[in-house]
Chain A
């Protein structure tokens, strides 16, 4: 019995090690918005909305061991949430997918993500996929920017979490 338990633990650890389980994001995915005073015309407000390039961030996910079935069919989902470091309640951050990325032929984005979704402080489902996917393009939008906000730097962290579906 003891041997069985030890073997099982070894198996479990081996599974964890062998299984490729990871999410990666492209470099330079941080987003810094710094309107310059010379961009403002007297009498006007700042542009209320700022948007990144459609592929500002590219997300890649490999889930499960290096097996064809995992590469084609392993189901997973991504949750998104924000962690306020120094944020303002009038600022709204949105995220959406602008493509499906690349990967094995049968792998694909199954559901969601194509319309802007407001990022909340609690985790929300962003989109679902099956199979391994690479370079899924993601776009961000920030709304509510105004000179009426106190002049300082606001910071937030956006957390993407992959869930085995």
Chain B
């Protein structure tokens, strides 16, 4: 019996060697928020589109300074599982164009260092007071930040009805909105 007891006494610590003694667990969690953010780069300052009167009789009005490509749409978007994709709309929020003139805008194809589904440009639209889609089918993505990142906006001033053109200095406010589809 003593021998048996001795063997057990010696072996017990050895038997425990290599065995799991105890364990503890901690929880780690990450919450990805739903994000829908958009900005205009390099800034939201006023752009000027100028139409000059003809210098010679018989010539049309000079539209060479009636375009602007300086603004870029940057956006970041995350979607809940199964969540709706997003669009960017544009509309005239306040002010009105000189009579006989129309303002068109088009978003360019995506450029930059972002990732994901940055959206598809729609056809050029003529701005009015109703929101119209200029970018569609935006998924989870980010465009990158700054000019040359995202979608370049092309504004073009044109005449709607040449005979109705009424020169003047008008300021209009255009709203771009990132919305759920």
Q: Which residues of A contact B (CB under 8 A)?
A: 1, 3-5, 7-8, 11-12, 15, 21-25, 29-37, 40-46, 50, 57, 63-64, 76, 83, 91, 93, 140, 142, 145-165
Give the residue of B23, B30, B33, B145 whose beta carbon is less than 8 angstroms from that of A44: B145
Secondary structure dominating the interface of A: mixed
Complex contacts, B83 vs chain A, CB 8 Å: 151
Q: Given that A35-B32, A43-B39, A155-B29 are known contacts, is A164 also in contact with B19, CB under 8 Å in the complex?
A: yes
Q: Which residues of B contact A (CB under 8 A)?
A: 1, 4-5, 8-9, 12-13, 16-35, 37-39, 41, 74-81, 83, 114-116, 140-146, 149-150
Nearest chain B residue, comparing its CB with the CB of A65: B13
- Contact present for B76 and A57 (CB under 8 Å): no
- Contact present for B80 and A152 (CB under 8 Å): yes
Q: Given that A35-B31, A147-B142, A152-B32 are known contacts, is A11 also in contact with B5, CB under 8 Å in the complex?
A: yes
- Contact present for B4 and A4 (CB under 8 Å): yes
C-alpha gap A113/B17 in the complex (Å) = 21
C-alpha gap A41/B22 in the complex (Å) = 45
- Contact present for A43 and B115 (CB under 8 Å): no
Min CB distance B151 to A, Å, is 11
